[in-house]
Amino acid sequence: MGIALFDLDNTLLAGDSDALWSAFMVEQGLVDHDFLEGARRFHDAYNRGDLDIHAWVAYALEPLQGRPADELWRMRERFLLEHILPVVLPAARALVNACRDEGHTTCVITATNAFVATPIGRLFGVDAVLATDLEGDEDAPCNRIKGVPAFREGKVTRVERFLAEQGLADQESCFFSDSHNDLPLLHWVTRPVAVDPDPILQAHAAEHGWPVMTLRQGPLPKRLM
């Protein structure tokens, strides 16, 4: 028994929820296509490993500011049904379920903001979702980060805090992720696992002898290395 941690975007999902949400806002007429060009620049910075997450959250959620809570909730529900459920990987559900059946506490941890990410994480039936929290409340999220964002070294901080709160600080831990941005947490856990990794993480996993798996080749997880 221990804790099983899962990255969300491009790990449990066959896509990036932030990018999908940006495209959805264009579809809903909240922003124009120029917004996507700005979003792509932030995404490129994420891939390089030099994303300013505070600037990204400010940009990504600015179009939602001042909108009625019931409108935001309806939009998010439609987003989940039309854009997220189609990219939920069956093998990802199988992986989470297997970890739960083994007695592990299960937790999604993601840099994506909590307004978008929390209901997505709950689709997997995990015990907890740790996302980048926002100022304001759930009905009217601000475009400013509250506390430590769940990004890079911040993921370690958030996990340590969560484990201490849950009385799990001495438990074994594993973390499944696709991204080199998650190297701090991958090095922190007892058992790091690269899942459909980006090239940097792929090379790092090979160098350190970490297991590599895919969730994109059928209904069950498949070990590659």
DSSP 1-33: -EEEEE-IIIIIBSS-HHHHHHHHHHHTTSS-H
pLDDT on residue 1: 74
What residues are annotated to the active site? Answer: 7, 9
Which regions in the chain score pLDDT beneath 50?
A: none
The token pair at 73 is: 């909730």
Q: How confident is the model at residue 8, as a pLDDT?
A: 98
Q: What pLDDT was estimated at residue 169?
A: 83
pLDDT value at residue 71: 92
Cα–Cα dist 162/8, whole Å: 17
Say what the pLDDT of residue 137 is: 73
Pairing of strands 140-145, 172-177: unpaired
Structure tokens at 149: 């964002």
- Domain-wise residue ranges, the chain: 2-223
Residue 81 DSSP class: I
Query: Whole-angstrom Cα distance, residue 181 to residue 43?
Result: 12
Structure tokens at 48: 């390089």
Cβ count near 112 (within 10 Å): 24
Q: What is the pTM of this model?
A: 0.96
Measured CA to CA, the distance from residue 18 to residue 3 in angstroms comes to 26
Residue 3 φ then ψ, to 5° = -125, 135
Tens of pLDDT along 50-90? 999 999 999 999 999 999 989 999 999 999 999 999 999 99
**Helix or strand (DSSP H, E) at 161:** helix 153-166
CA distance linking residue 225 with residue 211, whole number of Å: 5
Q: β-strands 140-145, 222-223: how paired?
A: unpaired
> Hey, how many other C-beta atoms are within 10 angstroms of the C-beta on 168?
17
2-223: in CATH 2.60.40.1840: no
Residues 119 and 7: beta-carbon distance below 8 Å: no
Q: Whose CA is closest to 116, among 162, 56, 179, 165?
A: 56
pLDDT at residue 107, rounded to an integer: 98
